[in-house]
Amino acid sequence: MLLFCLVFSLRKLHRKTPEPPEYLPGVSIIKPLLGVDPFLQENIISHFELCYPNFEIIFCVEDPNDPAVEVVQLLLHKYPNVDAKLIIGGNGNVVNPLVNNALPAYDAAKYDLIWIAMALNQMEMLCFTGMSYIFKKPILDRFGGFARYGKFLAEDYFLSKDLFENGYKIKMSNYPAQQNIAGTNVTKYISRMVRWLRLRLNMLTIVAAFFEPMIECVNLGFLLALSLRYLFGVSMLTTMAVHISLWMVLDYLLLRCTQVGLVYFCHIILRDMIFLFYILVLTYVIYAKAVLHPRTVKWGAHTYHLSLGGHTETNLCYR
């Protein structure tokens, strides 16, 4: 699988596309915000300075006292020639906080192409199966509009699933979305990965509970070592050492492919390898925490109860 991903990234990522057509369609960029961090202003500026002829930016903030309001207003004055505006106040009737925040902007969007640009750390949440996505508003409206997916925390997964099952194609960009990360640590990483796994346990139970663990590095290595020992008498310790080393090298190469180019400084490579090994160990901690309470997800200021199939309800007992 890692080899497939590596080959795909080498062939696909960061490749220049053919010359754009003469007509470029308008795009409505919807950016939900909550709070600020050291990189918020740089993140927003990157939207104002997009090299594209026809777009609008709609910022969404639920609370008028949110500190993100001041940052956005400052940049609106700095870039008066950019078609951008701020909408304060969410829908109020949707479980998914991101969808709830973005719905007024979705209704106000003037272009058919909608780009949901996550604020990520600023939202105290990460998009669960994708970081940024674009769809055609008239097509989504045939399925009930963006509000229909507010009953799921993984709204992007179910949105794309409906479109795909009705004959529409899903296309991945050649350019990975870059993210500025501030204030991250191991605890936040574990919490985020536990949320993701709990969502998958309820959306794709058999896959997440049984097949995903079997494709983890150590589990695959153990099965390979057991097989080679039984068939050829090869030392299990040797097989595991070679397997884990190759896995980490391929993982490292894949990481560098997505981040544009390789880094050859030995101390950086050693640091990254140590982190990769640490992540391999944390995989089992994450799985154990996720399966202990598979129906409960803590997201931002709220706790949610998940049902099989991905439907979500706010758990008022833990709010």
For residue 13, the model assigns a pLDDT of: 84
**Tokens (6 digits) for 146:** 């963006």
Q: Domain limits of the chain?
A: 21-165, 186-318
Phi, psi of 303 (to 5 degrees): -115, 135
Q: For the chain, list residues with pLDDT below 50.
A: 120-130, 317-319
The pTM for the full model equals 0.85
For residue 16, the model assigns a pLDDT of: 73
SS3 sequence of the chain? CHHHHHHHHHHHCCCCCCCCCCCCCCEEEEEEECCCCCCHHHHHHHHHCCCCCCEEEEEEECCCCCCHHHHHHHHHHHCCCCCEEEEECCCCCCCCHHHHHHHHHHHHCCCCEEEEECCHHHHCCCCCCCCEEEEEHHHHHCCCCHHHHHHECCHHHHHHHHHHHCCCCCCCCCCCCCCCCCCCCHHHHHHHHHHHHHHHHHHCHHHHHHHHHHCCHHHHHHHHHHHHHHHHCCCHHHHHHHHHHHHHHHHHHHHHHHCCCCCCCHHHHHHHHHHHHHHHHHHHHHHHHHHHCCCEEEECCEEEEECCCCEEEECHHHC
Write the pLDDT tens digit of every residue in 106-165. 999 999 999 999 754 434 443 334 468 999 999 999 999 999 999 999 999 999 999 999
For residue 263, the model assigns a pLDDT of: 54
For residue 124, the model assigns a pLDDT of: 42
For residue 140, the model assigns a pLDDT of: 96
- Compute the distance between CA of residue 206 and CA of residue 149 in angstroms, rounded to an integer: 23
For residue 122, the model assigns a pLDDT of: 38
For residue 163, the model assigns a pLDDT of: 94
How many percent of the chain have pLDDT more than 70?
A: 87
Half-sphere exposure of residue 231: CA atoms within 13 angstroms, side-chain side = 7
For residue 180, the model assigns a pLDDT of: 62
238: amino acid identity, one letter: T
